[in-house]
Amino acid sequence: MSAVHKLAVSWFVALVLLGTGCQPDEESAGDRASVEDDAPFVLGDLIEPFDPPTMDELDSRVEWMPQPVEDSLARLQRRQEDEPLLATVDEALALRNDSPEANDKILSALGRLPEDPDDVDWNATITRHTSADVRSTNPIMGSSTIEFDVSGLTGFGLFGFDWEFNRYAASDTVVSWETSTDRMYDRVVMRDDLTWSDGQPITAHDIVFSYQVIMSSAVPVPAMRSGTDKLRWVEAYDDHTLVFFHQEPMATNQWHVGFGILPRHIYEESIAGDPTLQNSPYHVAYEKAPVTGGAYVLHRRVLGREIILRRRESWYLHEGRQVRDRPFFEEIRFQIIPESSVALLAVKAGDIEEKILGPEEWVTKTDGPDFYRNNTKAYGLEWVYFHFMWNNRTEFFSDPRVRRAMSYAFDHREMHEILLYGLAEPANGIFHPTSRWAPEDPPPAYQQDLDKAEQLLDEAGWIDTTGDGIRNKEIDGRQRRFEFSILVVNAAERIAICNLLQQNLAQIGIICHVRPLEFTVLQEKTLQGHFHASFGGWGTGAYPDTNENIWRSDGGRNYVGYSNPEVDALFDQALTELDETKREELFGRIHLLLYEDQPYTWLFFRNSFYAFNKRLRGYNFSPRGPFNYGPGFGSIWKPAL
């Protein structure tokens, strides 16, 4: 099984903003400006000059510790050997998932890996659902879930993490991985049987080149640069031996070594003429037919309709010999259907074989024979939190008292019991209660208290001085009414939550306009800071430091302009604290400070609720859902007919 296929998006460890299942992470205005600058392109201009030592010099002064090199499927297989089988396949397929016990039986029976290769339909196709098209097929340019889903199957990677966030190097691509005892160096020896889809060898020089591209100011990849910019240098000592040099002994250094990999022979000569990697005819051609390093190649793409990937025989075969596990699916089809109701009809018809289910879909639209004829459904814990995002730069939400008032004004009970059908868990901040980074003594989730909300608004100077029932305040010499807009992706469940906010705020003299937008439009406005408030969510990264990108004053995804020097200082401490218990305490304090400041109103944690075709096997859940960890999607298969 392909390392990248098994690891899904193993190198994508940053947190991501959720719309209708899409997760934007586009370039900031500053990155766009750098692309448009007329200055000549300099590869790796963000890297400070460095003269790396020879390998002999390094070995003479460094003590190396071996790190795990794992096959994630084998790791899952070992776990399942110790898990009791709660039902047979036939029993599980006959169940309706209407209780935790039924869910446990379905996952126990249908989540298993095949016991024998002959059990697998190796010619199978899987048809997956996605609500949006990719913006880019380039593995370092991703900006949404679907892009990372695709590049996780086509891209090349060295590292991964499992369902418990244990870090390892992928045995499909790596021979050995060592870390220095002082945490300043990581050494990786790559396998020598790796090739790009055009037949060229994948070498350590591709990894060095990719690092230099990511660290070029003219290349608009802030998401991929986050974390990668903590590296001091990457050196290829030969075609297969890499050393990653770190700036300082951070606890997160083992995560900074994973980033998207480009084929150097494709981009080395072209990048200076088009650092966007997207605009020139040459780069457009490789967007349409990318050279890939993973288990799959892009076979066909119809804009706005479908993306079809084909298994790459040269991934698992080398010089006529099988050297890696064969990927379970011959073909993977992504069907692009923005409307969830339309996608659900396709699931019921058997035209789509997996789909995220919203609360209403889970409770009322997938409980009958029209659904269970072709499908079953399952759920698992996922650390995805949804929120109202308050733009702290605006005159409305610069005051934390106002932001706390928003949280008190909202009817959380009605949202949970009526709009979310009791399926979500109240959120009180950035870390899920089951996370080891959550505070030991967590604060309570907000509940509606209109009196408290009005008191805070009065204290902040927002009162009704005109008698029209609307709060106002003098700002810069003129009266401003408390009237703002909240952006929300055009999805019924999310619009309903924002409509509830609108109704609640009207009770305390605030006008809130709900503005449903197409995902790409909402994405752009959020990234540019052109909003008062927005509804969205963040999925978890593989380590807590990824929150730095959102909550530090200078964070690349700090879209609301939140700034707290104490939070910045705590992130600085956490990055260099090697004692895990102390790190957990630091992140718990960050959680509490954010709760106090309420730059967001945290609403709920959403578990993973999925429909799966009855022919699918091998799906398992993690705090990142069923796909985005190792082995993730790579464990899913179809039985032989």
Collapse the DSSP code of 96 into the 3-class scheme (helix H, G, I; strand E, B; otherwise coil) and give the result. coil
Helices (H), 164-303: 204-214, 222-228, 253-256, 264-267, 281-288
Q: For residue 368, with 0-12 CB atoms within 10 Å meaning exposed, 13-18 middle and 19 or more buried, which class applies?
A: exposed
110 shares its domain with 20: yes
Whole-angstrom distance, CA of residue 499 vs CA of residue 512: 9
Number of domain units in the chain? 2
336 shares its domain with 307: yes
Whole-angstrom distance, CA of residue 120 vs CA of residue 118: 5
What backbone phi and psi angles, to 5 degrees, belong to 441? -115, 85
| CB-based contacts of 115, cutoff 8 Å, min separation 6 | none
148 shares its domain with 72: yes
Q: Read off the amino acid at residue 291.
A: V
What end-to-end distance do the CA atoms of the chain give, in Å? 21
Q: For residue 466, with 0-12 CB atoms within 10 Å meaning exposed, 13-18 middle and 19 or more buried, which class applies?
A: exposed
Residues 509/471, Cβ–Cβ less than 8 Å: yes
Whole-angstrom distance, CA of residue 531 vs CA of residue 204: 44
300 shares its domain with 432: no
Instruction: Please check whether residue 372 lies inside any domain of the structure.
Output: no
Strands (E), 280-374: 296-302, 306-311, 317-318, 321-322, 331-336, 354-356
Whole-angstrom distance, CA of residue 5 vs CA of residue 635: 9
Closest CA to 69 of 174, 181, 157, 156: 174
Instruction: Please check whether residue 365 lies inside any domain of the structure.
Output: no
Instruction: Please check whether residue 374 lies inside any domain of the structure.
Output: no
Instruction: Please check whether residue 366 lies inside any domain of the structure.
Output: no
Tell me the CATH number at 558: 3.10.105.10
CA distances 356 to 20, 362, 616, Å, are 10, 9, 15
Residues 72/627, Cβ–Cβ less than 8 Å: no
563 shares its domain with 629: no
300 shares its domain with 395: no
601 shares its domain with 457: yes
Closest CA to 156 of 213, 203, 212: 203
Sign of CA dihedral 56, 61, 65, 71: negative
167 shares its domain with 183: yes
Encode pLDDT of 268-280 as tens digits: 999 999 999 999 9
- R_g (Cα) of the chain, nearest Å: 25
Instruction: Please check whether residue 526 lies inside any domain of the structure.
Output: yes
Positions of the chain with pLDDT lower than 70, given as ranges:
1-38, 143-144, 542
In this prediction the pTM is: 0.85
Residues 537/384, Cβ–Cβ less than 8 Å: yes
Two structure tokens written together for 125:
């196709």
337 shares its domain with 411: no
Residues 226/213, Cβ–Cβ less than 8 Å: no
Collapse the DSSP code of 448 into the 3-class scheme (helix H, G, I; strand E, B; otherwise coil) and give the result. coil
Instruction: Please check whether residue 443 lies inside any domain of the structure.
Output: yes
Q: Read off the amino acid at residue 401.
A: R
| CB-based contacts of 407, cutoff 8 Å, min separation 6 | 446, 598, 601, 602
Instruction: Please check whether residue 511 lies inside any domain of the structure.
Output: yes
Whole-angstrom distance, CA of residue 287 vs CA of residue 285: 5
pLDDT at 527: 87
Residues 201/195, Cβ–Cβ less than 8 Å: yes
Whole-angstrom distance, CA of residue 186 vs CA of residue 173: 16
Whole-angstrom distance, CA of residue 631 vs CA of residue 463: 55
Whole-angstrom distance, CA of residue 388 vs CA of residue 49: 43
344 shares its domain with 460: no
- 356 half-sphere exposure, CB direction, 13 A CA radius: 20
Domain ranges, residue 469: 381-607
Distance of alpha carbon 463 from the chain centroid: 41
97 shares its domain with 245: yes
Two structure tokens written together for 25:
């992470």
Q: Read off the amino acid at residue 639.
A: P
What backbone phi and psi angles, to 5 degrees, belong to 412? -65, -35
Instruction: Please check whether residue 593 lies inside any domain of the structure.
Output: yes
568 shares its domain with 422: yes
Residue whose pair of structure tokens reads 């994948």 in the numeric block: 202
Tell me the CATH number at 53: 3.40.190.10
Q: Read off the amino acid at residue 105.
A: K
